[in-house]
């Protein structure tokens, strides 16, 4: 049964960081309801969902993907580029240590956020973004090279994280909203999709993906191509530059 880490939204969610979007009202109650529905998608499919300890003092703590990345046999605790997010790794580290999965950490001067790490096969594309720097990418490469992973740095200037702009289907096809992708040629197979909110998908199994309910044209395109698509509303998190990927981390041992 696949396993997933999540973290409930902080009461201070509305104070979350913004980099590329203007601040608009976030409905905290609706965000909580959307988060409950999101978690239910996985539970209904039999996934083992583990909530990290609440981090109510961290407005962006719900975006748990940014704090730890799992590769086969190694978890990498990140070092967020956003100072307001550094504390979030304390609880992520504790959960990983308790799970007994071997782990390493990104150290100063490196910064890395999980939203910048897109795994396709044994390649990790890593966004060089406002949150992830060259030192962080070099540290990740040093950790992964002995394990047979390629680490490919790609530029990210138009959105917060690499996975805000592109994610991958189960067959390795990278999908993204082209106007927000810095370098489409970085990916061997690229499928343009028609809406920015459709860029982020979570692979549920070999045939099914989870996607934002704000991307109906992308849903139609993926269904036409034979994918099963589960939609869930994440509007309140999208207002804070979040998306379906950043609300969870899949544990890989």
Q: Helices in the chain by DSSP H: which ranges?
A: 28-44, 88-99, 134-144, 162-165, 216-224, 235-238
Pick between residue 79 and residue 161 the one whose CB is nearest to ligand CIR. Answer: 161
* Distance separating alpha carbons of residues 11 and 35, to the nearest angstrom: 13
Q: Tell me which of 9, 61, 110, 115 binds ligand CIR, using CB under 6 A.
A: 115
In the complex with ligand CIR, which residue's Cβ is closer, 129 or 139? 129
Minimum distance, C-beta of residue 10 to ligand CIR, in the bound complex (Å): 11
Contact status: 52 vs ligand CIR (CB under 6 A): no
- The closest alpha carbon to 235, from 48, 37, 45, 93, belongs to 37
Reported in sequence order, the residue ranges of 7-137 that DSSP labels E, i.e. its strands, are: 48-51, 68-71, 74-77, 103-105, 117-120, 123-128
Q: State yes or no: is 161 an active-site residue.
A: yes
- The active-site residue out of 92, 246, 249, 251 is 246
Contact (CB, 8 A) for 235 and 217: no
Among 239, 236, 195, 232, residue whose Cα is nearest residue 210: 232
CB of 226 to ligand CIR, least distance (A): 27
Binding flag, residue 61, ligand CIR (CB under 6 A)? no
243 part of the interface to ligand CIR, by CB under 6 A = yes
- Cβ atoms of 245 and 200 within 8 Å: the answer is yes
Nearest to 61 by CA among 39, 92, 36, 37: 92
Shorter beta-carbon distance to ligand CIR: residue 66 or 236 = 66
What are the C-alpha distances in Å from 129 to residues 108, 153, 161? 16, 10, 6
Query: Contact 193/218 with Cβ under 8 angstroms?
Result: yes
Nearer to ligand CIR, 68 or 222 (CB): 68
Complex with ligand CIR: residue 23 or 94, whichever CB lies closer: 23
Of the residues 6, 241, 244, 249, which one makes contact with ligand CIR according to CB under 6 A: 241
Task: Give the one residue of 242, 244, 248, 249 binding ligand CIR; rule: CB under 6 A.
Answer: 242
Site for ligand CIR in 138-177 (CB under 6 A): 160-161, 163-164
- Find the binder of ligand CIR among 8, 66, 78, 197 (CB under 6 A): 66
What residue ranges bind ligand CIR (CB under 6 A)? Answer: 16-17, 19, 60, 63, 65-66, 82, 85, 115, 160-161, 163-164, 240-243, 246
């Amino acid at each position: 049964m696949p396993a997933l880490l999540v973290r409930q939204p902080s009461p201070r969610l509305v104070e979350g960081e913004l980099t590329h979007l203007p601040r608009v009202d976030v409905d905290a109650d609706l965000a909580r309801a959307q988060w409950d529905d999101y978690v239910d998608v996985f539970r209904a499919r039999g996934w083992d969902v583990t909530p990290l300890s609440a981090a109510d003092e961290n407005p962006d703590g719900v975006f748990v993907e940014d704090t730890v990345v799992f590769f086969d046999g190694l978890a990498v605790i990140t070092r967020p580029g956003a100072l307001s997010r550094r504390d979030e790794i304390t609880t992520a580290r504790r959960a990983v240590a308790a799970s007994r999965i071997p782990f390493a950490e990104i150290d100063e001067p490196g910064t890395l956020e999980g939203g910048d790490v897109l795994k396709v096969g044994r390649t990790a594309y890593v966004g060089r973004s406002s949150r992830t720097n060259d030192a962080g990418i070099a540290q990740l490469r040093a950790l992964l090279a002995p394990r047979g992973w390629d680490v490919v740095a790609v530029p990210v200037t138009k959105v917060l994280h690499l996975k805000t702009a592109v994610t991958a289907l189960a067959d390795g096809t990278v999908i993204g909203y082209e106007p927000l992708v810095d370098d489409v040629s970085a990916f061997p197979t690229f499928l343009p999709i028609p809406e920015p909110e459709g860029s982020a998908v979570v692979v549920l199994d070999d045939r099914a993906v989870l996607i934002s309910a704000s991307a109906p044209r992308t849903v139609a395109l993926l269904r036409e191509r034979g994918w099963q698509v589960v939609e869930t509303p994440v509007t309140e998190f999208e207002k804070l530059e979040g998306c379906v990927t950043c609300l969870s981390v899949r544990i890989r041992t």
